[in-house]
Amino acid sequence: MRTRILTFKIVFLFISQLLRRSLQRELNDFFGRLYNAEYSIQKVTKSAFSQARSKLKHEAFIELSHSSVDFFYDNSPYLLWDKHRLLACDGSTIRLPDSQDIREKFMPTGFGPNADVESSLATISLIYDPLNLITLNAKIDAYNVSEITLMKQQLGEVSFKPNDILLMDRGYPSISLIYGLHHREIGFCIRLKDDWWKAVNEMLKAGETDKIVTFILPKKDKYLQQFYKSDSDKVTVRISVIELEDGKREILCTSLLDTKKYTLEDLKQLYHIRWGIEEAYKLFKVRAEMESFSGMTALSVKQDFYAGIFSMNLCAMMSFPIEQKVREESKEAKLKNTKMVNRTNAFSLVRESMVGVFLKKKIRKFLQTVDNILKKTTEAIRPNRTFPRKHKQKKPKSMNYKIM
């Protein structure tokens, strides 16, 4: 009985995080589907549920997500890039509800010319598999905690596999990070800022585009040599200058030292795959409306955040078999553009089916429905399309006015 009550809490919280109506309407609709009614049923008040919710730790969703991720990689023929599993790391920020509890736990940040306009924000970080659409690890913390700090915590929590390659953008690289990745035996491809490192400046002046370079740990980071029990304070990497179609250039630092096996074009394609994590954030923040939180406490923020991560993973795993079928059929038909599953549609299907899957155990019927619908709603993958990014501040949604 206790297990079923816990399952009920998790499933409903999962659904309420995804739907965005008032809590009472969500509860009524939930029980209507649970009892196969043709209309909503009021069985539980929002006050009673909120009290029960306060007893549910957000770690429940972390454990669910980690267990499902481990199962996926242990049992699925997941996609690789030349025998490498690709993982991308990136950070972002989300706006939080304004309440006393959230201010105490997440610390408000001052904005404006005089930094006197306080707002509650959080820094988030994902380690994400852009080929298989799986989030291996997620973190949320106060706005004043940097994404680099969160990434270093994540490196100690993710179960890396041999031949993994970590993709990171210009906000992350440092010699100490590269040294640590080398000694953890984690491959990497990191974009560097133009003219930022001495070795890069020398390459650009000499007109070189591909070079093996050895870095020495700075004095402030010498402790890492003892931490990793290494006899050397040096790390050897490959720096490559990639010319883009628009005339700009990418400067990449990678552990893939074999210049014959991995050409500049290969590295260009490799780093481009990192864009998948940007798409993951778009799905998370826009399609799943992550910033429309279902509660006004720090606990509810964490519950919603990790429930959202779990839902993204669940969606990716359930869509994986049909995704592979669609791509294989595209190749066999020799289509101009390979097709893929519509992720927004897949996300909606998972959201609407949780009662049947988790509580009614109608898993086979659900998977058949997913296969039938997703196969009919595919999209063509059009490579080399570029759109300017619009950095526009969004007005936060009021929690006082919910959709119908």
Look at residue 77 in the predicted model and tell me its pLDDT. 92
- Same domain flag for 300 and 352: yes
Range 169-174, long-range pairs (CB < 8 A, 24+ positions)? 169/90, 169/274, 171/91, 171/147, 172/89, 172/147, 172/148, 173/253
- Same domain flag for 303 and 376: yes
- Same domain flag for 241 and 191: yes
Extract the tokens encoding 387: 């759109």
Unique residue bearing structure tokens 């954030």: 281
- For residue 352, being part of any structural domain is answered with yes
Whole-model pTM above 0.95?
no
Q: What is the pLDDT of residues 45-79, one digit of tens each?
A: 888 877 878 888 889 889 989 999 999 999 999 99
Question: Which secondary-structure segment (H or E) carries 215?
Answer: strand 210-216
Return per-residue pLDDT of the chain as tens, 404 residues: 445 444 544 554 555 444 456 777 877 877 777 777 777 888 888 888 778 788 888 898 899 899 999 999 999 999 999 999 999 999 999 999 989 999 989 988 777 676 666 788 999 999 999 999 999 999 999 999 999 999 999 999 999 999 999 999 999 999 999 999 999 999 999 999 887 788 889 998 999 999 999 999 999 999 999 999 999 999 999 999 999 888 889 999 999 999 999 999 999 999 999 999 999 999 888 877 788 888 889 999 999 899 889 888 988 888 887 777 777 776 666 666 666 777 777 777 776 666 666 666 666 776 777 677 776 676 656 565 555 656 555 555 565 555 55
Domain count, the chain: 2
- For residue 21, being part of any structural domain is answered with yes
- For residue 71, being part of any structural domain is answered with no
- For residue 395, being part of any structural domain is answered with no
Whole-angstrom distance, CA of residue 60 vs CA of residue 10 = 8
- For residue 129, being part of any structural domain is answered with no
Give the domain range for residue 231.
Answer: 170-255
Q: How many CA atoms lie within 13 A of 264 on its CB side?
A: 13
- For residue 229, being part of any structural domain is answered with yes
Q: What is the pLDDT of residues 87-128, one digit of tens each?
A: 999 999 999 998 999 998 998 877 767 666 678 899 999 999
- For residue 108, being part of any structural domain is answered with no
- For residue 339, being part of any structural domain is answered with yes
Q: Buried (b) or exposed (e) across 265-276, using 16+ Cβ within 10 A? A: eebeebbbbbeb
